[in-house]
Amino acid sequence: MPDPLSFYFDFSSPYSFVAAQKIDALAARHGRTVDWRPFLLGVVFKRCGMPLMVEQPMKGEYSRHDFLRSMRYHGVEGHIPKDFPVATTAAARGFYWLAEADPELAVPYAKAMFLAYFRDGRPIGTRDTVIAIAEEVGADGAAFANALQDPAMKDRTRDAVEEAIARGVFGAPMVFVDGEAFWGLDRLTMVDDWLFRGGW
């Protein structure tokens, strides 16, 4: 069995949202699975000394237009939530807890989180919403709520962000195929071709 693809994303990233609708099927076409790895884009940008894309001069305006255009291009229904971007610390922390406590639920939770935010406009920056989404996919709400406050889970999430940075993740989404990094939604076509041809 070949290694899974590593899929790095932030729950508040529109390009990650679109990629999240596509990545499992893309990998499956090549007999691969996907290792989902949420991280915190805000922490990474801060570490790099870069402003968030939507805050960059000119590029910010372009990207807001391009988010919606990219969704239409990829046939994914969605929009930019009123409150955008939001902090995704709680959402990520909940993911890493589920990945240990109830691993079958982690990816469904991640997919539900994206749809809740970009399709339904729910405020996923809030603890209550994150807990509600965890419950909706079948998690134990009380245990999940406790985990969000657990110092061990805070550490686990911080470690995940550090691991992403150490691997060279500077944006989202970012996909690794056997050590080869591909940055951006635009590159899913290239990932597909890389898997098909075994590199080039």
Question: Which residues would be at the binding site for its own copies (CB under 8 A)?
Answer: 47-50, 56-59, 61-62, 65-66, 69, 72-73, 165, 168-171, 181, 183-184, 186-187, 189-190, 193, 200
63 vs 129, beta carbon nearer its own copies: 63
69: exposed, middle or buried (Cβ count in 10 Å: 0-12, 13-18, 19+): exposed
How far apart are CB 58 and its own copies at their closest, in Å?
4
Cβ–Cβ under 8 Å, residues 175 and 188? yes
10 vs 98, beta carbon nearer its own copies: 10
How far apart are CB 19 and its own copies at their closest, in Å?
13
Distance separating alpha carbons of residues 58 and 5, to the nearest angstrom = 33
How far apart are CB 52 and its own copies at their closest, in Å?
12
At 45, the amino acid letter reads F
5 vs 134, beta carbon nearer its own copies: 5
How far apart are CB 142 and its own copies at their closest, in Å?
39
Q: Give the pairing of strands 34-38 and 174-177.
A: unpaired
How far apart are CB 178 and its own copies at their closest, in Å?
14
CA dist list (Å): 178 to 5, 144, 166, 192: 7, 33, 16, 13
How far apart are CB 195 and its own copies at their closest, in Å?
13
Distance separating alpha carbons of residues 18 and 77, to the nearest angstrom = 9
E-state strands within the chain: 5-9, 34-38, 174-177, 180-183
74 vs 119, beta carbon nearer its own copies: 74
61 vs 104, beta carbon nearer its own copies: 61
29 vs 69, beta carbon nearer its own copies: 69
**Terminus-to-terminus CA distance in the chain, angstroms?**
22
